[in-house]
Amino acid sequence: MSRNKSTVSLQEENKESFIMLSKSLVETRHLGKHGDLDVYHLVIIKTLANNFQGVALTGVNHLMKYIGMDLEQSSTKLRTNQSLLRLQSEGHIEIYEDISMIKRVYQLKHANNYFIRPTGKDERYGFAKVFYEDVKKIINLKSNYKPKIFATYLNVVGYLFYSSTSYPISYIKIDTIVKNTKIARKSVVDYLRVLFENEVLYCVHFNVNNTVSKNYYTRWVHKKYTSLWGIEEAEDQYKTNREKFKGGAIGVCDERVAS
């Protein structure tokens, strides 16, 4: 299989800024009932901490305002407060009240900003690249389900591999995303389509044979190459030739197996 990666889109992507998220965070089902919310908050904190100190100056109200949440809902404030404290107790962030980062904080006042340092927990064991451009697009979505949409996105990009022998294309199964996140299957399909329609992820699908329909995803910047890369992956995975495919199209299919 040809692996010529000297494409314009890869050169463009190499100029983009990104943060690293531990691959342990892909399976949000292990993080509790609000795991997707915690991971969403963590990625926002990490983007805000992209400075010489590696620290985000933020708090409950500021974080909610930044990501477009309603400040009038006390229940949402409480949920944000608890999420930040969970992230600290699980070792993903440290929260301080002073710029010298000596005095740790274990109770948060909603109106106060704090110095929050991401720890990079478990990233040395494997990480996903999360690009600022993608985070910005997700933050700007008109949706009440952005944490779940981000969890879906993270599952896809968590399986993009950047190496001299592979293209940055993901073919994670929808059922695997459901298993990893405990998000309803129909919702996962809807969120994948939202990511496609808002130019975060590009997707093509192929009807490889009479029983298999498969999605192949890239970041939007690589859309020119997604079909070519996807065809090569499908040929390799299913040990067949593209001429034998039963069909295909741009966009997300639900990958239902024919009975």
Residuewise pLDDT in 10s, the chain (259 residues):
445 555 889 999 999 999 999 999 999 888 888 899 999 999 999 999 999 899 999 999 999 998 888 888 889 999 999 999 999 999 999 999 999 999 999 999 999 999 999 999 999 999 999 999 999 999 999 999 999 999 999 999 999 988 877 889 999 999 999 999 999 999 999 999 999 999 999 999 999 998 899 999 999 999 999 999 999 999 999 999 999 999 999 999 999 765 5
What is the signed CA dihedral for 174, 176, 181, 182, rounded to 10 degrees?
Answer: 80
Q: What is the pLDDT of residue 5?
A: 55
Handedness of CA 205, 216, 173, 12 (dihedral sign): negative
Q: What's the predicted TM-score (pTM) here? A: 0.93
Distance CA 246, CA 75 (A): 50
Q: Which residues contact 135 (CB under 8 A, 6 or more apart)?
A: 43, 44, 47
- What's the pLDDT at 2? 45
Cβ-contact 205, 248 below 8 angstroms: yes
